[in-house]
Structure 1
Amino acid sequence: MPNFARNSRRPESFVDSGRPIGLLSSLKVELSALIAIATAISFVMAWFLLKVGWSGWVAMPLTLAVSLGITYLFSRGLTSPLRQMRDAAEAMADGDYTVRVETGTDSNDEVGQLARSFNDMAEELQHADQMRSDMIANVSHELRTPVSALQAMLENLADGVIEPTPANLDGILKQTYRLSDLIAFLLDLSRMEAGAASLEIESFNFAQFIDETVEPLEIADAGHAHSIEVHVPESITMEGDQDRLRQLFTNIIANALKHSADETTVLIEAHIDEDHGMIVTNVVNFGSQIPKEARSDIFRRFVKGKTGPGTESGGTGLGLSIARWAAHLHGGTVRVVDDPRGADFEIVLPKYHIAL
């Protein structure tokens, strides 16, 4: 597991002196109150000093000094969050996104609102920075594994340690397939980040589309003796980008096959929700279940499922994330729903394409 020492530590806070004023809803009102308080104190103090016999040449400068001191004290409290935000912005410019502003976040005026917004922005930047570091570490790991395996196999072949038998060559071929899949996933991921995916919308028969999607998966799965049952009405037609939708269904069905025991069945069934004009497809992996607390996490990037206790699936951890992205491009959703039969991925897509 990569170590993100800088990003995972507790957020650092800039704390300044408390704010004497901050309960009011407007900075203008607070400044007006500050002026009124300072003027009242100055008037009372000047009146008292003159009444007890002090000279005006002494009372007035003293009153002015006290008034300025009160104004400075209150104004410092009003502007302390701004000074904190300046210091925090300088720290963030140096790459430290853990900084937070504390003073002012509990006030109701514009400065308090700005302090809270600043902390929200800092939190988002910290999360984005951690995701970037996470992605770099995971991609490096995912690329290193097949490359190292390929290097070892080819070195053994070159040194004559192993013979170029069909089994050894098949192992090399599998590693190249894994690299190719990872590169394809990363290209899709870059499209997701850039929001640059364009859709080629066409009308097609949904049942035929599912059959064409399942066929290569059945061939690739021949060694595990899974059976795929497809219950999709022949009458369903839909509009969408077949390439993107094939990514969606291929990743969901392949995930179900990967997490099914050998010689078991994966069910694909679909129906039309006439009330909402949606096509609802369920891909059911019989026997296994996904805990409710993990159902949202599995759609995150680089999160891998388990094929057994403490054993990762060995995939890239990108398939389900890309499947959800492809569904969103069509205005649809992908989620795991309760089903006593097993893990049930429900894919809901509009029958007719609506431009997003």
Structure 2
Amino acid sequence: MFKLRSKFVLLFSVIIILSSIIMVSIINYSTRTGYKEFAHKNDITYSNRLVPYIKAYYEMNNSWEGIESIIQIPRGRMGDMMDGRGRAPTPPIMITDQHGKIVLNTLNIDIKRVSKEQLKLGVNINIENKVIGYIFSGSMLVEKLTLEEEYFLGRITNIIIIVTLFILIISIIISYLFSYKLTKPISKLSSASKKIGSGDYTTRVDVNGNDEISMLGVAFNNMAKSIEDSDSWRKQIIADSAHELRTPTTLIQGHLEMIIDGVYKPDKKHIESIYNETKVLTKLIQELQELSSAESGSMKLNIEKLDINKLIKNTSETFKAGDSQEVALKTEINKNIPLIDGDWQKLKQVVTNVLANAYRHTPIGGEIKISSHLKNREVSIIIEDNGCGIAKDELEKIFERFYRTDRSRNRNKGGSGLGLAISREIIRLHRGSIYAESEIDKGTKIVIKLPVT
């Protein structure tokens, strides 16, 4: 995780450094360009202010001879353009005639003649609308800064660089702190993942905030809880399976030992007893295999168009024909129920499991009702009894493996505890749902919902 933090700091530092270099370059370029534009405009202004005096000199002498004396014009004539000694102040100037011949040059530029293109850069000196010459001041002819100007701009550049370096250092420190804060929860997630990988499924991470990393922490905690629940469920399944298998195998072993020791004779009675226990054991193993197949999604369904009302009648008649006459079974059929896609045998198995549970928990003289309904493109099969009912905290648990609401019941009276678990998985494979509603001493209602396709 330290490497990730270093990568963040390095990335931020590179971005900041590149941004700083670009910023310094832009500011320096803008400053120099702006200063040159300012100096150029100032030179033009200065040249325009000199034109009247140069023009007056030319009109007075009718030639450019002695024009260099213009820089010695007394202060009273040149006004505020003269320094305290009566001399023309900087910047230096260049004056040419109308053809570009240089008549005065204090610009410190080694040039003998100004070209026609260069003359366009100067300020015209006109007499009666006739150009008699041109004047250039400072950087008008050649964009060249003086040493003083270069020194001034250099100081500005140095100040910009110093300020930028200060900002750069502060930014790198802030980026490090930000990277630390960003990677700290990721580091905790990594550490927690290693603990879960080593088998500590109780590990959780603290979640603060509602950003993406916090959402990742919430997802991690949910995953850890799911793994913990799955592990607990796996251990419980192993324990329950071992418990359920132990009883018939113990009985079989006991009977066989008695026969071997001569306590029991190997007659039909004792052999039938052993055989019955093997049937219980076989049924339990088959149900475990069926439940495992359904949960893994490998259970094969023989999907066909089927009539739910017909399935209800067929299953009900099976129970009515059996040894269940002590409990009344009523059916209510909705004739508008459409055909649905489903596996006849599997859905009949579900209804049979639910009815069998209802019979087990309904007292003699009680009543069970099975009905069909249609609502919102869903077909419902509702099985109700007026038995002992189920406590609210046990309603969801009745669909778990090996769960019995009455722990005192044995397998013969209470079933294996796998029927409703298998039923739930079969309904899930049909993209439906199954749930229970119940009140103590009033009865239980199981609702099976299947989609109409």
TM-score, normalized by length of structure 2?
Answer: 0.55
Q: Distance in 2 between matches of 1:217 and 1:157?
A: 38
Find the partner of 1:248 among 336, 343, 350.
350
Q: Is residue 177 of structure 2 the alignment partner of residue 77 of structure 1?
A: no
Q: Is residue 373 of structure 2 the alignment partner of residue 272 of structure 1?
A: yes
Q: Distance in 1 between matches of 2:213 and 2:444?
A: 50
Contact 1:226 1:266 in 2 (8 A): no
Q: CA offsets, 1:178-224, max 9 Å, x none?
A: 212212221222222221233222344545534543566567x74x7
Give the superposition deviation at 1:72: 4.4
1:303 paired residue number = 403
Give the superposition deviation at 1:245: 0.5
Contact 2:402 2:416 in 1 (8 A): yes
Q: Is residue 205 of structure 2 the alignment partner of residue 101 of structure 1?
A: yes
1:19 paired residue number = none
1:188 paired residue number = 290
Code of the residue aligned with 2:182 in structure 1: it is: L
1:293 paired residue number = 393
Q: Distance in 2 between matches of 1:326 and 1:85?
A: 38
Q: CA offsets, 1:76-114, max 9 Å, x none?
A: 333211211221122222222221222xx2123333232
2:196 paired residue number = 92
Distance verdict in 2 for CA 1:277–1:64, change over 3 Å: closer
Q: Distance in 1 between matches of 2:193 and 2:297?
A: 29
Code of the residue aligned with 1:136 in structure 2: it is: I
The correspondence of residues 1-356 of structure 1 with structure 2, limited to 5 A, is: 72-102=176-206, 105-164=207-266, 168-214=270-316, 222=323, 226-227=326-327, 229-233=329-333, 238-239=339-340, 240-261=342-363, 263-273=364-374, 275-306=375-406, 311-314=408-411, 315-338=415-438, 342-350=443-451, 352=452, 354=453
Code of the residue aligned with 2:294 in structure 1: it is: M
Give the superposition deviation at 1:133: 1.7
Distance verdict in 2 for CA 1:267–1:279, change over 3 Å: farther
Could you tell me which runs of 5 or more consecutive residues in structure 2 were left unpaired when the two chains were aligned: 1-7, 21-163
Give the superposition deviation at 1:265: 4.2
Q: Which moved more, 1:63-72 or 1:251-260?
A: 63-72
Distance verdict in 2 for CA 1:295–1:108, change over 3 Å: closer
RMSD (Å), alpha carbons: 3.6
2:51 paired residue number = none
Q: CA offsets, 1:264-313, max 9 Å, x none?
A: 4452422332x43544333233331112222112112232221xxx5145
Give the 3-state SS of the residue equivalent to 1:100 in structure 2.
coil
Give the 3-state SS of the residue equivalent to 2:204 in structure 1.
strand
Give the superposition deviation at 1:241: 0.7
> How many residues are paired up?
290
Code of the residue aligned with 2:359 in structure 1: it is: L
Give the superposition deviation at 1:225: 6.1
Q: Distance in 1 between matches of 2:295 and 2:387?
A: 35
Q: Distance in 2 between matches of 1:200 and 1:87?
A: 48
Q: Distance in 2 between matches of 1:286 and 1:109?
A: 52
Q: Distance in 1 between matches of 2:183 and 2:249?
A: 56
Q: Distance in 1 between matches of 2:379 and 2:168?
A: 77
Which one has a bigger Cα radius of gyration?
2
